[in-house]
Amino acid sequence: MKDAVQTAVVGVTGYAGAELARLLLRHPRLKSAPPVFAGRLDEKDAALGGVPLVEIHPQLADNNGTAALKLQLFSWQLLAERGVDVLFLATPHEQSREWVPEALARGMRVIDLSGAWRLNSAKNRAIYAFTDDGTEHAAGTQSKSVYGLPELHRTRIADAHLVANPGCYATSIILALRPLVGAGIVDLAAGIVADSKSGVSGSGKAPSAKTHYMYAADNLSAYGVFAHRHTGELLEQIGLSSAQIVFTPHLLPIPRGILSTIYVRFLKPQTRESIVQLYRTFFADSPMVRLYDNTLPQIQYSVRTNYADIGFQVSPDGRRAVIVSCLDNLLKGASGQAVQNLNLMLGWGEAEGLE
């Protein structure tokens, strides 16, 4: 890798793309090489050389040259001319399925924020209905993909050429459950319940009937019951069967943030101290996870930060626990995690540009 790493972002116009641009523009290691921003443009904007970034996201304006940056028409030639080393894709799943193999063939390392390459099981991938699934070409790309949850796979991420950034709901639940399930103390036969709630930005920037103000405001609604795309990530990364967990997402009338309330039973009685020690040991080298010992996290504590917050309460008989996990769906649930993965891939401090 060159001394000055050149990144590129495709999909900067969305909410996660805006946060990714903000983090990369302010990253201490990337000051000499701002990202290349590329995407689709109409004929008029393409003829003008692109659209100024600050017209798309005025909040990114600063006195360090952002006014000169533009969203340019995407082409592989553009990325080659600019010497792109690491490509971030904040694109729809179908687009990432098409572009990731090409980027890898051109020698770029890729961090994909979509669900295109997260799932190893064909059964779990079926929910996406990828048209190329089952082909030798797709299988070859999938075999190169590393699930980009640093707290689980930081060693593999460091050597990866393709990192599949996790889903936001999945991140909040996996971080809360993997230490307990991995320790063998959870009664899986009793079942796990994960009740998650997210702000409307989790649905993306494109408006829909259910993210319209008149629907979302003063409302709380469940959706994707037994059918949410992040369920497969939970099964694969925690090591569960579909019969062992019920995951229900809900839409909160707030702009951003996720709170997951998770209910488990233990095989044997546990103490608060034993669970605290288990979490502390598991996350000892994880700078972007905060453990709450004496209180439960809330969305307002983690929103607009890159942290995942975890707290819990154990029942008086020690046989049950309620775990609360909070994060910002656009940061630790998307763009902040992508930058955390970038840091690992380039051998930088995991929390650089994030704290």
Provide the token pair at 134.
Answer: 């089952």
Q: Cα separation of 128 and 173, whole Å?
A: 21
Backbone dihedral angles phi then psi of residue 195, each to the nearest 5 degrees: -105, 110
Catalytic hit among 8, 24, 168, 308: 168
For residue 92, give both structure tokens.
Answer: 């729809």
Burial-class residue 355 by CB neighbours within 10 Å (0-12, 13-18, 19+): exposed
Q: How many CB atoms lie within 10 A of CB 33?
A: 18
Place of tokens 């190169």: 144
Closest CA to 147 of 131, 125, 127, 163: 163
Q: Report phi then psi at 109, rounded to 5.
A: -95, 145
Specify the DSSP class assigned to residue 266. B
The H-assigned helical ranges of the chain are 15-25, 43-47, 53-56, 76-81, 93-105, 122-125, 136-142, 150-159, 168-182, 213-216, 231-234, 272-282, 299-302, 336-345
Residues in Cβ contact with 42 at an 8 Å cutoff, skipping those fewer than 6 apart: none
CA distance 307 to 327: 6
Active site residue 326: no
The strand pairing partners of 312, in sequence order, are 323
Measured in whole angstroms, how far is the alpha carbon of residue 311 from the centre of its chain? 20
CA proximity to 341, closest of 90, 69, 158, 172: 158
**Backbone phi, psi, residue 237, to 5°:** -90, -25
Active site residues: 168
